[in-house]
């Protein structure tokens, strides 16, 4: 007798889980930086357009397919044809690999929550150089290149294990618990972000320097192809697309659910959070520029260093109780990160449970244990950040995009996005018109192909990535994708047990 499929407790539980997956490190550190770099306030225009022509149609394909097939990504592709199951596994393995380092960064946030209490890098002026050297030398123990392993960082190892244990407890009990935890975590993350931003905005330099450089529009940017490349790739990553997640989450919805509405809410909440996070980041950065008497362009505004160097430095310069605001910022980062991380694990667990009929607890324990081992072994030591950078380029950029292109072809063309649309329109309050088919079949794939080509040839990834040796970047970037591909073929070809 087939077991009744689990269900979310309520509609809002599902929405919070989906939002929790979407909002993550990408909103807090990547979006503000892209906006700053690509035309300030004017970046919002390409970004909003990308959400509508790429993000929403793609999210629609994933959620409606998951809801129709009532399984995760592999089962959803299998619904189209038995031969296509691998495509779902490919997405699941790509995100599995991504998670091995994503949780490491969540672990860093956990460590920084504690460091913020006693500010080991110094306060005020002395923190300016202290924070950077603390992060790279004392905390990460970075080695000179990907060929030199270096030692393990004990705080990172411990924090990563703790984060994985937490993930295990959240998802081993099924989607009801995921829904509850997501609701609390997302709200807590929002509240912390709001408090942090309000504090930030009251500091000198926050508005006139920080927000000014975040929001002053440069409309000529819109004509620049690179800006569109930034917007498209950010939308895909930020909405957790191409990762097998939204199929899994939607598969636990009841028969009648307002999918169209739910996915619009998810997309808009994600966009709103990204935009708001810009205020948090830029008010801090503006204050830092003001306190140091330098131009904001001289401050590191991108990537890992933005979150773990620039922001902590700015916090240490705050006149009163910087500790509190440090903790608040990293609590928010941690919450945002964990809800994304367990959504990835859930994508894998759902797929395994659906296919191999093992118990959820066993599947979760196995996935968490293997991910912890890989993460600690590769990313928690001196060369970790180098490999993180290269593997990230492979999976979070090419992996996601390739997965998305395959989805557009298989669900948009072969299965027919109009069939999916009929399905969701029947059960949704708002109905989607033909524009979704046009976007899913033509615009989204064209945008994806454009972004892939851009990365390969304009950024020059075919010749190696990020100034690393060719062997290393090839191994990190393409090797990780190859592993995902091979595993997906193996998993798809195993018969039902």
Task: List residues binding ligand PHE (CB under 6 A).
Answer: 21-22, 24-27, 95, 237-238, 240, 243, 245, 340, 343-344
CB-wise, 344 or 440, nearer to ligand PHE? 344
CB of 66 to ligand PHE, least distance (A): 15
Task: Judge residue 390's burial from the number of C-beta atoms within 10 Å of its C-beta, 0-12 exposed, 13-18 middle, 19 or more buried.
Answer: buried
CB-wise, 207 or 448, nearer to ligand PHE? 448
Nearest by Cα to 277 from 203, 190, 182: 190
CB of 333 to ligand PHE, least distance (A): 10
CB-wise, 24 or 476, nearer to ligand PHE? 24
CB of 160 to ligand PHE, least distance (A): 17
CB-wise, 101 or 415, nearer to ligand PHE? 101
CB of 21 to ligand PHE, least distance (A): 5
CB of 50 to ligand PHE, least distance (A): 14
> Which three-class secondary structure string do you get for 477-493?
HHHHHHHHHHHHHHHHH
Distances (CA, A) of 484 to 95, 380, 395, 473, 490: 9, 21, 9, 17, 10
CB-wise, 25 or 68, nearer to ligand PHE? 25
Nearest by Cα to 285 from 195, 197, 356, 360: 197
CB-wise, 345 or 425, nearer to ligand PHE? 345
CB-wise, 209 or 269, nearer to ligand PHE? 269
Residues 6+ apart with CB under 8 A from 80: 410, 411, 414, 415
Distances (CA, A) of 287 to 205, 211, 212, 292: 5, 10, 12, 9
CB of 192 to ligand PHE, least distance (A): 16
Half-sphere exposure of 399 (CA within 13 A, CB side): 34
CB of 235 to ligand PHE, least distance (A): 10
CB-wise, 22 or 131, nearer to ligand PHE? 22
Chain centroid offset of residue 334 CA? 13
Nearest by Cα to 150 from 160, 164, 136: 136
Nearest by Cα to 346 from 68, 67, 21: 21
Nearest by Cα to 436 from 130, 57, 167: 57
CB of 72 to ligand PHE, least distance (A): 14
Question: 148: which 2 tokens?
Answer: 């030199």
CB-wise, 63 or 344, nearer to ligand PHE? 344
CB of 277 to ligand PHE, least distance (A): 10
CB-wise, 246 or 285, nearer to ligand PHE? 246
CB of 318 to ligand PHE, least distance (A): 26
CB-wise, 21 or 71, nearer to ligand PHE? 21
CB of 484 to ligand PHE, least distance (A): 14
CB-wise, 237 or 465, nearer to ligand PHE? 237
CB of 33 to ligand PHE, least distance (A): 13
CB of 99 to ligand PHE, least distance (A): 8
CB-wise, 84 or 241, nearer to ligand PHE? 241
């Amino acid at each position: 007798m087939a077991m009744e499929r689990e269900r979310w407790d309520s509609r809002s539980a599902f929405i919070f889980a989906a939002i929790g997956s979407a909002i993550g490190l990408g909103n807090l550190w990547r979006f503000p930086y892209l906006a700053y770099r690509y035309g300030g306030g004017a970046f919002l225009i390409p970004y909003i357009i990308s959400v509508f022509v790429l993000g929403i149609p793609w999210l629609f394909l994933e959620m409606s397919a998951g809801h129709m097939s009532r399984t995760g990504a592999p089962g959803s592709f299998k619904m189209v044809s038995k031969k296509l199951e691998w495509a779902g596994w490919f997405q699941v393995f790509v995100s599995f690999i991504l998670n091995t380092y994503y949780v490491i960064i969540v672990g860093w946030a956990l460590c920084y929550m504690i460091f913020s209490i006693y500010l080991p890098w110094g306060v005020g002026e002395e923190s300016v150089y202290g924070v950077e050297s603390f992060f790279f030398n004392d905390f990460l123990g970075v080695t000179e290149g990907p060929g030199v392993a270096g030692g393990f960082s004990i705080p990172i190892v411990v924090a990563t294990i703790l984060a994985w244990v937490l993930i295990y407890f959240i998802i081993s009990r099924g989607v009801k618990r995921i829904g509850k935890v997501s609701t609390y975590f997302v709200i807590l993350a929002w509240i912390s972000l709001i408090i942090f931003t309000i504090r930030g905005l009251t500091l000198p330099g926050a508005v006139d320097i920080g927000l000014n450089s975040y929001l002053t529009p440069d409309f000529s940017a819109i004509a620049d192809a690179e800006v569109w490349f930034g917007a498209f790739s950010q939308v895909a990553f930020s909405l957790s697309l191409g990762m097998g997640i939204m199929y899994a989450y939607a598969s636990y919805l009841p028969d009648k659910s307002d999918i169209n509405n739910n996915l619009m809410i998810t997309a808009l909440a994600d966009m709103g959070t990204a935009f708001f996070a810009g205020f948090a980041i830029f008010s801090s950065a503006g204050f830092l520029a003001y306190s140091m008497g330098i131009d904001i362009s001289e401050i590191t505004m991108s990537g890992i260093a933005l979150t773990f160097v620039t922001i902590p430095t700015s916090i240490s310069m705050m006149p009163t109780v910087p500790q509190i605001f440090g903790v608040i910022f990293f609590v928010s980062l941690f919450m945002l990160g964990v809800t994304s991380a367990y959504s990835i694990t859930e994508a894998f667990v759902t797929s395994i449970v659906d296919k191999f009929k093992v118990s959820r607890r066993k599947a979760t324990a196995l996935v968490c244990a293997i991910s912890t081992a890989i993460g600690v072994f590769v990313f928690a030591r001196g060369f970790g950040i180098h490999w993180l950078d290269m593997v990230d380029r492979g999976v979070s950029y090419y992996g996601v995009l390739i997965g998305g292109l395959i989805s557009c072809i298989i669900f948009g063309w072969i299965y027919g996005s109009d069939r999916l649309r009929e399905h969701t329109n029947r059960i949704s309050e708002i109905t989607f018109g033909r524009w979704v088919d046009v976007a899913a079949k033509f615009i989204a794939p064209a945008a994806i192909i454009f972004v892939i080509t851009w990365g390969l040839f304009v950024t020059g990834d075919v010749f190696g990535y990020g100034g690393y040796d060719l062997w290393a970047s090839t191994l990190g970037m393409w090797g990780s994708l190859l592993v995902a591909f091979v595993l997906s073929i193996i998993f798809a070809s195993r018969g039902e047990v």
